[in-house]
Amino acid sequence: MTGKLFAQAMGKFLAGLILLGVLIFLPAGTLLFRSGWLLLEILFIPMFLAGIVLMIRSPELLKKRLQADEKEPEQRQVILLSGLMFLVSFVLAGLNFRFRWIVMPRWTVLAAAAVFLLAYLMYGEVLRENVYLSRTVEVQENQKVIDTGLYGVVRHPMYTATVFLFLAMPLVLGSPLSFLVMLGYLPIIAKRIRNEEAVLKAGLEGYEEYMERVRYRIFPLIW
């Protein structure tokens, strides 16, 4: 653990918390948006705890997860599209609460929160299984193919988890309109996966054989 890594992690954590709070509560016109607070709690409390664990047990993995300097031009497009999608989705959720366009029953919000937390657990398991996970698409030095655990079921279990995480978010906020916007994540992540697999196939020994053994990318029997 280093002071620099801790400062970098806390800086990004607080920046994300503040930015998301602004995107949710400013359009809502009030801090009395219970579902907004619920999303912040189930998103950032586990994130903080996971960050502490990584800081202590695997600081190198935490460092990789904080890295965001994407070198692949196609992945930069993916990041831009994802950012726009999140911006529109969260602002719409706040406006939906403010003007009561569509009011979802409370049980659907709580069910979405449960799905979100389960997906978070899956994300944590992926982090435990794969020490090479980086936010950028690249082949790392001495990287090996991981084909056990969830990686024996689908090739990109991290993206499986993020699909459930991202689609649950707008429902936690009680906004079906935001959910429709967030469906845009499906073609965006498909674009990222195709490019990522091309990079791994070209630069990671054994990855092509792994693709033949594990046929599905994120959803068994679907894709």
pLDDT tens per residue across span 65-78: 777 666 667 778 88
SS (H, E, C) the chain: CCHHHHHHHHHHHHHHHHHHHHHHHHHHCCCCCHHHHHHHHHHHHHHHHHHHHHHHHCHHHHHHHHCCCCCCHHHHHHHHHHHHHHHHHHHHHHHHHHHCCCCCCHHHHHHHHHHHHHHHHHHHHHHHHCCCCCCCCCCCCCCCCCCCHHHHCCCCHHHHHHHHHHHHHHHHCCCHHHHHHHCCHHHHHHHHHHHHHHHHHHHCCCHHHHHHHCCCCCCCCCC
Q: Give me the pLDDT at residue 6, please.
A: 82
Q: Give me the pLDDT at residue 68, please.
A: 64
Q: Give me the pLDDT at residue 167, please.
A: 97
Which segments of the chain have a pLDDT < 70?
1, 68-72, 134-137
Q: Give me the pLDDT at residue 69, please.
A: 66
Q: Give me the pLDDT at residue 197, please.
A: 92
Q: Give me the pLDDT at residue 7, please.
A: 86
Domains and CATH numbers, the chain: 3-213 (1.20.120.1630)
pLDDT digits (tens, 9 = 90+) for 196-210: 899 889 888 899 999
pTM (2 decimals)? 0.90
Q: Give me the pLDDT at residue 14, please.
A: 95
Q: Give me the pLDDT at residue 38, please.
A: 98
